[in-house]
Chains A and B, each alone.
Chain A
Amino acid sequence: QPVLTQSSSASASLGSSVKLTCTLSSEHSSYIIAWHQQQPGRAPRYLMNLEGSGDYNKRSGVPDRFSGSSSGADRYLTISNLQSEDEADYYCETWDSNTHVFGTGTKVTVL
């Protein structure tokens, strides 16, 4: 079963950028992941899926400020021009043999 590791928190100033990391367990380093955003008090919302090649597909309506990239077992979500509404928890998700796993989530604070 894959394991996804995320740092617990990140912060950046309004208008700056922040890069979140989701690390796959080594034997699952090629897996596709998905990024989800959960704003305070709301349900999660799917943002994008991201391949090991760095190719990503965003959900319709997700601002251009959100982008994905990859390096080895690491999957990144970069938020540029950070806005107040980006303050949220961000979770990565992957799957194997029809079972799923989520990372522990990263709380993003906009300063």
Chain B
Amino acid sequence: EVQLVESGGGLVQPGGSLRLSCAASGFTFSNYWLDWVRQAPGKGLEWVANIKQDGVEEYYVDSVKGRFTISRDNAKNSLYLQMNNLRAEDTGVYYCARSSAEYSSSSEFSDYWGQGTLVTVSS
């Protein structure tokens, strides 16, 4: 069974940093692109970033470029999101998601989602 479990959320002041983690199991982690998707309170889904199987390629939504860094450790079956210079508008639930196509050279739709971790940016 595919499982994605996020952790690391919490309350942080504006300008602060936080590192989210996603522990994966039930599939061959190193064969898939992985994504972070967030959801502000009462709002819709927003794609944040993704990373290729080998970690060589990373892509970001414009609003987080230069502040967030996605990374992965295939030996630990883990995905990360380092968030720096956090803003109030970064508040929300952050989901880890798996891209559907195994071995694909390009990212595709998300077919499995974690339960999410809440990030609150407030003074």
- Would A105 and B107 be within 8 Å (CB), given that A98-B57, A99-B59, A99-B61 are in contact? no
Contacts of A45 in B (CB 8 A): 113
Find out whether the CB atom of B109 lies under 8 angstroms from the CB atom of A93.
Answer: yes
Total A-B pairs, Cβ < 8 A: 69
Asked if A95 CB lies within 8 Å of chain B CBs, one says: yes
- Would A43 and B107 be within 8 Å (CB), given that A91-B45, A99-B61, A102-B45 are in contact? no
Asked if A44 CB lies within 8 Å of chain B CBs, one says: yes
Find out whether the CB atom of B112 lies under 8 angstroms from the CB atom of A91.
Answer: no
Number of interface residues of B (CB under 8 A): 24
> Who on chain B is nearest to A38 by CB?
B45
Find out whether the CB atom of A99 lies under 8 angstroms from the CB atom of B109.
Answer: no
Task: Report B44-60 CB contacts with A as 1/0, cut-off 8 Å.
Answer: 11110010000001010
Q: How many of chain A's residues touch chain B, expressed as a range?
A: 20 to 34
Find out whether the CB atom of B113 lies under 8 angstroms from the CB atom of A100.
Answer: no
- Would A46 and B59 be within 8 Å (CB), given that A98-B106, A99-B47 are in contact? no
Q: Which residues in B have some Cβ–Cβ distance to A below 8 Å?
A: 33, 35, 37, 44-47, 50, 57, 59, 61, 95, 100, 106-116
15 A-B pairs, CB-CB below 8 angstroms? A36-B45, A44-B113, A46-B100, A59-B111, A89-B44, A93-B109, A98-B59, A98-B106, A99-B47, A99-B50, A100-B37, A100-B50, A100-B110, A102-B45, A105-B44
